[in-house]
Amino acid sequence: MKTLIKATSLVVAIALSSAVSTTHAANHKAFEHANSKSKLLRCGTKTPSLKEAELKERHFDTVKRGKPGGGSGYTPRPAGSVTVDVYVHIITNNSGDGALSVADVSNQLNVLNNAYINSPFTFNLVNSHTVANNTWYTAGHGSAAERDMKNALRAGDSTDLNIYTNNMGGGLLGWATFPSDYASNPSNDGVVTLYATFPGGSAAPYNEGDTMTHEVGHWLGLYHTFQGGCKGKGDYVADTAPEKSPAYGCPIGRDSCTKGKGSSGVDPITNFMDYSDDACMYEFTTGQSNRADELSNVYRGL
């Protein structure tokens, strides 16, 4: 697989950059945190406005009060105690581009499990299959093709993680739905990632499998570390320092919130929920683990 990827990486890189130049303007509005200087747009998951985030949080507070152990004093579950069943849908085009091997899927699941090792979550592969479909192969965020693909393929219920891989274009690496989205649109639930972001893939510097880790973070309820910028409650996690905007590359020591309340600490550029290179990101905080735990429990019954 690695040799094959190396041989074809030039072609893929060219395809990606030309896709960006033609579709970047169209994507710019939808993906407000995309880096115009970057060839690859880390994540298309919608970043809520301050007001939207506040409303979502109020709903979360209301719903959790009705749950046993909810409200104040939620006790985080032990590491590794919650098993998430995973269904992988590999979409190729009719020529077989986008294919992933059994080993590729296994390596990706290993990356995911290692990333979440201190959290309650472990990920258990139930089924992986390949579907050849030229339309779904380039399904973009919010497209009719995405809807059709998910309607046809989604498996399981609110507790099951459905992963779709394709070549969505626009230089995008992936997107995910949040736990609170599930009830209103169950068939849309899941994570979509660019197949070349799997470990050893051709989407360098995003080819160590951390796109999946990041998108699954959203699927479990986490916001970007730069959610809300330097203002308000940011990402609603107390132990991630506030951050004004996404970090790219690996800017060690970056400190984008230097004034007032949000000035505590350098930016969390090594956190999986930032936009840094895969080689730069390696951690979730305890606060993130606890928030993912409680949100997934409340909205997914996980």
Among left, alpha and beta (phi > 0; psi -120 to 50; other), residue 14 is alpha
Give least dist CB 260 to Zn ion, A.
26
Give least dist CB 36 to Zn ion, A.
17
Would you say 45 or 119 has its CB closer to Zn ion?
45
User: What track of x and - describes contact with Zn ion for positions 137 through 176 (by CB under 5 A)?
Assistant: ----------------------------------------
Q: In terms of C-beta density within 10 A (0-12 exposed, 13-18 middle, 19 or more buried), how is residue 34 classed?
A: buried
- The region of 6-14, 35-43, 53-61, 261-269 touching Zn ion under the rule CB under 5 A is 35-43
Render the burial of 41-74: b for 16+ CB within 10 Å, e for the rest: bbbbbbbbeeeebeebeeebeeebeeeeebeeeb
DSSP run (H or E) holding 90: strand 82-92
From CA 294, how far away is CA 96, in angstroms rounded? 40
Under 8 Å between Cβ of 3 and 106:
no
Would you say 5 or 216 has its CB closer to Zn ion?
216
- The region of 12-20, 43-51, 244-252, 277-285 touching Zn ion under the rule CB under 5 A is 43-51
How far out from the chain centre does Cα 110 lie? Answer: 16
Give least dist CB 176 to Zn ion, A.
7
Catalytic (active site) residue 215: yes
43 touches Zn ion (CB under 5 A): yes
Give least dist CB 215 to Zn ion, A.
7
Q: Which of 215, 243, 283, 294 is catalytic?
A: 215
45 touches Zn ion (CB under 5 A): yes
Tell me, what DSSP letter sits at residue 198?
S
Chain position whose Cβ is nearest to Zn ion? 43
From CA 266, how far away is CA 239, in angstroms rounded? 12
Would you say 5 or 115 has its CB closer to Zn ion?
115
From CA 283, how far away is CA 270, in angstroms rounded? 6
Give least dist CB 284 to Zn ion, A.
13
220-259: contacts with Zn ion (CB under 5 A): none
Report, as residue numbers or ranges, the catalytic residues.
Answer: 215
Contacts with Zn ion by CB under 5 A lie at 43, 45
